A and B are shown apart, each in its own frame.
Chain A
């Protein structure tokens, strides 16, 4: 299991409450809980002038804040941080195209859709799709079908 660029993607609000969690390596419930607590504390304590990257143990967290929602991506040390930062933005743009003025509640109410989008964009911890049309088309087709 070598090339695991992205280890996890988290969406957490300002209060540190998890809004979405997707792990690309298996962690137990306790491990997830501990990890989320630790890194959220770390990232939320930082100010806006500081880097959007934080080293944590043997990997890095790239994070970006949108309104009250933080997007945190855990990556291997040799990942291109700036690219991950833009990947987060692409994800938000994609959600925005789908939901229209996406907000925290949209993600909460449509958790599965947010996950479906991630499933299209990231597989095995690697970015596989970056075209918004391709990402969204399965979801749109499913909506039509049901």
Chain B
């Protein structure tokens, strides 16, 4: 047994070219592979950590052994556990003489450490040494590490060597040196600014690999500074031409496409260079046109290049012929059955409509199909397209759709995005204010906590300002309808805070304005809100202020104010609130109620939120008071800049004990309050107990302090009465609104957003939309056409829905026995020509049988052994047999094993041409097997050895092996 294992190990080494693996490593991999849950995996890894901690500190570890330990550490980190105890050993391994061990060390270090780790300094030396090595593979390994580990400070340590390596005879080294330089440029452009010309030079490198790599830094350089690289247009175009004409070595071909990844990069660069530059663009037309013609639209990679061409064409100076080709390609994408291609098509359409908006129309039905597709990715992409093509004629339909979708999703990131898009579109294209308010209500209702508070302020402003025309009746109608809708919405169970703030503000300002609702009704609602959301202080503050406004308007109108009992209890509660802001508001309310109608009207005029407030920043109205005070012996104001600490303190005392100087407390004993709020407030002001303007939001203080847009809330309102809460507020008040907010709202007189467009045609559109809703389930097709009409505004008959009935080779057809599959896929293959338009289904990787898999094909090893049986020349087979005869028995139970193997490995899909991907797995795999790299026997040996060494499944159907088959 022992002996067998040793033999196995040796064989494993032989067949794996010295990639030595011990039983322990194999066991680890096996147990991780078989772990059934994350908890089990964690347990294994934790055990492994303990083992490794012991092992790595043993003396005289052979380097092969050490390499394995390091790889096990990589596993530990990959599976989410900390392996920092072993980092130093990885660092040491980079010193090793053996290339393989060294490179593994570098690999581990780049995986473990970030560029700012303390250990990096230990590696820099090694890197410097290795960059000078005679063995170019060592240099390459070091350059890989340079790209990952060198930070701004260490760049100078390696820069000269890297620059020297740009001229290294080996192309692999030049390529990596270019990338290292690219990395330096990313880290610190200034450190290599004098070396940028090297990128241009290397573009003309003899080796296509180096040239291809150079495109990466050049792309970045061009995108930061287009104009400096206009001279390269000709070079890029000629390179692209040569690539497209297959001048590059065959090795760069991918699925019959000449160097597609290089083509794509070049097209990206050209798109940048040709943007808005007619002359540069004209140089590109021919080659881009050629690529359009040459691309094989039946393969994924062909379509990838086509897509890049479309992007390029829609970026550079427009050319009618190219635009036509792009439109053709887009329509092929959209008509395809593949969701991937549809996605690319929608994206490309979004780019092209910027130049030729009319092309959207012919694809309207396809777009609507995508919009209604259950696939979220496709849906989102389509919303992005709709967002790009919104205009005043279709805004209602689009925004309605967006809102429906917004309501349906849970992903907050995207919800926020789509909500802000709705707001943006609504602000830009709203056909009427009524509609705008409706939309905003919906946005607030469903995503209120996600939208920016500014949006709420905008809406308040809009309601306050109305249409901006001299049409008062329309304005008040708007407000009434807002009030109506808000009273209705208040019935909902859970309303976002921002929305509640908005509602309270509107109810306070306009709740009783049209006389439809009584003051007691509105105040009742407001106190309900304050009650129901008792842990939201901002809402409560808005509610109290709204109450105050209602009462003030009542008093000003000469009506008697009867405070509802619930309001009264609320007030009592707030008067004793821990929140100084609430407390202050409650006191203010109390004070306002006690005033007479005239006074109230001047401090709280109705509907005055838009009035200009004149601000006397110099506080000249206090001059008389100050004069009086100074005459009475008060100290004059000393500007902050001239104030010393001592003065400050004496001021302080002076202020606080004005008129009570007999007080004996010694303030000198305390630390100097350097940053106190008081120090910023003019002493004269502080001396007063009558007026206490707040230091910063003073701008909003005078004239009409109260009706300021509520965002100014605490600060603004605090100015109204005599409470000296300002300083406290500043320091402690949680609800303090930033002065910035208050200023922004106090400047609300500025013109609002451009919501002035009233478009007559919209009414018809929205009615179309309603009918759409009502007939939802009756006529899907006409419904779609209607939707299309409202979105695109044109006739929807131009295009028929892409045929979708052509799915012969869907997995279901593969449920049959393998032989059948084989046969039928042959047939399908022959039908292929008829299906040129049908793009490969990207996920249908010819493993349909896997999907429908029958239980016996579960264990790839079984299959391997099954395969192995006919070729019994291997001694190991016998070993395996003696080892685990029952398992051998299992193999023979699967007569179809040979075929199953086709499905079991990742391979099955590889051998196929992209088109056959969709057709089915079995067809061409056999060909592949004979032509694949290391022969089949080798891989069988490899796997049988693995089995011998203890990785044999411990149960007939262990997880790891089942996994492979799906």
Contacts and interface: CB of A to CB of B under 8 A. Distances in A.
Interface string B239-274: 000000000010110110001111011000000000
A143 B14 CA distance: 10
Interface string B56-90: 00000000000000010011011111100000000
B950 interface: no
Interface residues of B, number: 116
Contacts of A115: 107, 111
B375 A20 contact: no
Contacts of A99: 933-934, 939
B127 to A, nearest CB: 15
B251 A102 contact: no
A138 B137 contact: yes
Contacts of A126: 179, 182, 216
A52 B340 contact: yes
Q: Is the interface of B mostly helix, strand, loop or mixed?
A: helix
Contact of A143 (B18, B251, B341): B18
A39 interface: no
Contacts of A116: 103, 107
Contact of A2 (B18, B38, B82, B223): B223
Interface size class of A (residues with CB under 8 A): 35 or more
Q: Which of A69, A98, A128, A145 has the most CB of B within 10 A?
A: A128
Interface in A90-139: 90, 92-93, 95-105, 108-113, 115-116, 119, 123-124, 126-134, 137-138
A101 B932 contact: yes
Interface string B107-131: 1000100110000000000000000
A46 B19 CA distance: 37
A5 to B, nearest CB: 8
A52 B186 contact: no
Interface stretch (B432-440, B820-828, B841-849, B876-884): B841-849
Interface string B29-52: 100110110100100000000000
Contact of B340 (A20, A51, A111, A113): A51
B220 A2 contact: yes
A2 B186 contact: yes
A34 to B, nearest CB: 10
B549 interface: no
Contacts of B829: none
Interface string B797-835: 000000000000001000000000000000000000000
Given A2-B186, A15-B959, A144-B17, A130 B75 contact: no
Given A80-B308, A109-B29, A67 B965 contact: yes
Contacts of A2: 186, 220, 223-224
Contacts of A80: 264, 304, 307-308, 311
B905 A112 contact: no
A90 B860 contact: no
Tell me which of B17, B36, B114, B303 has the highest count of chain A C-beta atoms within 10 A of its own C-beta: B17
Given A101-B939, A128-B216, A67 B966 contact: yes
Contacts of A68: 963-966
Contacts of A112: 19, 71, 74, 104, 107
B906 A96 contact: yes
B261 A67 contact: no
Given A29-B77, A33-B80, A64-B842, A96 B300 contact: no
Contacts of B943: 105
A33 B943 CA distance: 31
Contacts of B261: 83, 87, 127, 130
Contacts of B623: none
B220 A102 contact: no
B910 A92 contact: yes
Given A3-B219, A138-B140, A101 B907 contact: yes
Given A85-B842, A109-B26, A103 B78 contact: no
A67 B850 contact: yes
Contacts of B845: 64-66
A137 B209 CA distance: 13
B223 A54 contact: no
A82 B216 contact: no
Contacts of A130: 212, 252, 254, 259-262
Interface string A21-40: 11000100100110010000
B844 A100 contact: no
Given A53-B340, A80-B264, A143 B17 contact: yes
B32 A17 contact: yes
Contacts of B325: none
Nearest to A140: B17
B308 A83 contact: yes
Nearest to A108: B29
B343 interface: yes
Query: Which of A14, A80, A132, A141 is most buried by chain B, counting CB atoms within 10 A of its CB?
Result: A80
Nearest to B179: A123
Q: Select the residue from B35, B172, B341, B842 with max chain A CB neighbours within 10 A.
A: B842
A20 to B, nearest CB: 7
A53 B260 CA distance: 20
A109 B82 CA distance: 21
B414 to A, nearest CB: 7
Contacts of A142: 99-100, 103, 137
A100 to B, nearest CB: 4
A112 B877 CA distance: 28
Contacts of A57: 413
A142 B908 CA distance: 28
A129 B261 CA distance: 9
A128 B212 contact: yes
B301 interface: yes
Nearest to A24: B148
Given A51-B378, A55-B414, A86-B254, A26 B115 contact: yes
Given A14-B966, A129-B209, A51 B343 contact: yes
Interface of B: 16-19, 21, 26, 29, 32-33, 35-36, 38, 41, 71, 74-75, 77-82, 98-100, 103-104, 107, 111, 114-115, 137, 140, 144, 147, 172, 175-176, 179, 182-183, 186-187, 209, 212-213, 216, 219-220, 223-224, 249, 251-252, 254-255, 259-262, 264-265, 300-301, 303-305, 307-308, 311, 339-344, 375, 377-378, 380, 413-414, 811, 841-845, 847, 850, 860, 901, 903-910, 929, 932-936, 938-939, 943, 946, 959-960, 963-966
Interface of A: 1-3, 13-18, 20-22, 26, 29, 32-33, 36, 46, 48-55, 57, 64-69, 80-83, 85-87, 89-90, 92-93, 95-105, 108-113, 115-116, 119, 123-124, 126-134, 137-138, 141-146
Given A21-B78, A103-B906, A145-B99, 20 more contacts: A3-B216, A20-B78, A48-B811, A48-B841, A80-B311, A81-B340, A82-B300, A83-B305, A85-B300, A103-B907, A109-B26, A123-B147, A123-B176, A123-B183, A130-B212, A131-B252, A134-B172, A134-B209, A134-B251, A138-B140
Give the 7 A-B CB pairs with smallest separation, nearest first: A143-B17, A82-B304, A100-B934, A48-B843, A131-B251, A126-B216, A83-B304
12 contacts: A2-B224, A3-B216, A21-B78, A66-B847, A89-B300, A115-B111, A124-B216, A127-B261, A128-B216, A131-B251, A142-B103, A145-B99
